[in-house]
Structure 1
Amino acid sequence: MSEPVSALHHATDDSGLVAIREVGPLGMITLRGDLADKTLGKAAVVAGGVNLPEQRHCNTEGEQGIAWMSPDELLIMCPYADVQDRLADLRDKLAGSHALVANVSDARAVFDISGDRVREVIAKLAPVDMHPDQFNGTMFRRTRFAQVPAAFWMPDDRSARIVCFRSVAQYMFDLLKVAAQPGSEVRHYA
């Protein structure tokens, strides 16, 4: 079996207002179905290794997690090497349920940005109120960064994790670098 390759081969840039790092391959499973179904919920918790998140939130612990994507969709995250086993387990547990389970790991790129100006960099690109009173804790958003569909959450006040389609990984990396250019500080959240 061949080794997985990240979209940008772990590209990094720490020359700007935030450090930008493309995360290596991360296991991601889309689970669609009735989120009120207890069988589906229990299977998702086992696969994601964390409790189910509230609407528009994300629960993570290390490489494991579950993100609320829509009223009938969850994104389950796990180590890349565990995806096939977790996928098989989900399909087995949900065999009698109306659900869709798909491995989307290789279709996505993941970026971590960190530093004191994380909120400012995101606010330049996404139509999300990044004030700490409005976006905090385990909140999760599906949105756009410029014209790129993406999702993000902030594991802490100084970092964010962004997920986008692999096909636009270079564009996303470049967007983040431009928004983080030294001298482009807005100082709105400082």
Structure 2
Amino acid sequence: MSELYIDSPLAGVAEPQGLSISIREIPDRGMIDLRGLTSDPAFMAAAKGALGVDVPTRPRTSASWGDVRVLWLSTDQWLILSSRARAHELLTSLRDALNGIHSLVVDVSDMRAIIRLEGDGCREVIMKGTSLDLLDKEYVQGCCRRMRYAEIAALLDVVEDNVFDIYVFRSYAHYTWNFLCATAKAPAKLKLFGAQEVPA
């Protein structure tokens, strides 16, 4: 009997060398797409009961409870993150809790690739592929938002000050990986000076 085999989008890629920051794939993340109406108290209560935390209602924010993280995607959509091993349990809990309530719960763990950037200079590397100003005070731990990155749709998640996760659709995983490896090379490192004092 054949066994279920799960392969990550970037399985087998060579470890990048000569970069100014660390780049690696996060291969074992479970992801659930949740949709519902924040104006419906029954939906909000049921989602919290299943997840252990209120789904965020403020744009570009996230919420966490233990190993479960909830990213705001739009006014009626969230991405639920957990370990892949726990994704089925969460999916079942959400579907049971939301039974009879206008909502949608789908396991999308294989839909996206997640690439993590770590180290001083991550913001500068990411800004080579997007028009976002990541030096803005908005981009702190917990911030998440959709963006255009290297001309494709992506999701940015600020995990910590110098730790960022970029989510892209699986078919763009290698393209994004190669773009990051090229723009993060040590000789291409940028130093942003920011505001300067006017000499006396």
The whole-number CA distance in structure 1 between the counterparts of 2:145 and 2:78 is 13
- Structure 1 runs not aligned, ≥5 long: none
2:172 paired with 1:168: yes
Q: Name the SS of the counterpart of 1:95 in structure 2.
A: coil
Give the superposition deviation at 1:49. Answer: 4.7
Of stretches 161-170 and 81-90 in structure 1, the one that deviates more from structure 2 is 81-90
Give the superposition deviation at 1:43. Answer: 3.6
The whole-number CA distance in structure 2 between the counterparts of 1:50 and 1:15 is 41
Give the superposition deviation at 1:131. Answer: 0.6
- TM-score of the superposed pair, with normalisation by structure 1: 0.89
Aligned ranges for residues 3-82 of structure 1 at < 5 Å?
Answer: 3-9=5-11, 11=13, 12-13=15-16, 15-53=18-56, 54-60=58-64, 63-82=67-86
Give the superposition deviation at 1:170. Answer: 0.5
The whole-number CA distance in structure 2 between the counterparts of 1:123 and 1:62 is 31
Change (3 A) 1:114 1:107: same
Larger-gyration structure (1/2): 2
Q: CA RMSD in A?
A: 2.1
Give the superposition deviation at 1:114. Answer: 0.3
Among 111, 114, 117, the alignment partner of 1:110 is: 114
The whole-number CA distance in structure 2 between the counterparts of 1:43 and 1:4 is 31
Q: Name the SS of the counterpart of 2:172 in structure 1.
A: helix
Give the superposition deviation at 1:62. Answer: 6.8
Give the superposition deviation at 1:51. Answer: 4.0
Give the superposition deviation at 1:189. Answer: 6.3
- TM-score of the superposed pair, with normalisation by structure 2: 0.85
Cα deviation, 1:74-114, whole Å, max 9, x if unaligned, reads 10111111222211211111111111111110111111110
Q: Do the aligned partners of 1:118 and 1:158 also contact (CA within 8 Å) in 2?
A: yes
2:151 paired with 1:135: no
Q: How much identity, in percent, do the aligned residues show?
A: 33
Cα deviation, 1:39-86, whole Å, max 9, x if unaligned, reads 323343354454433321123467520000011101011111122221
The whole-number CA distance in structure 2 between the counterparts of 1:93 and 1:141 is 27
- Structure 2 runs not aligned, ≥5 long: 195-200
Structure 1 stretches (4+) deviating beyond 3 angstroms?
42-51, 60-63
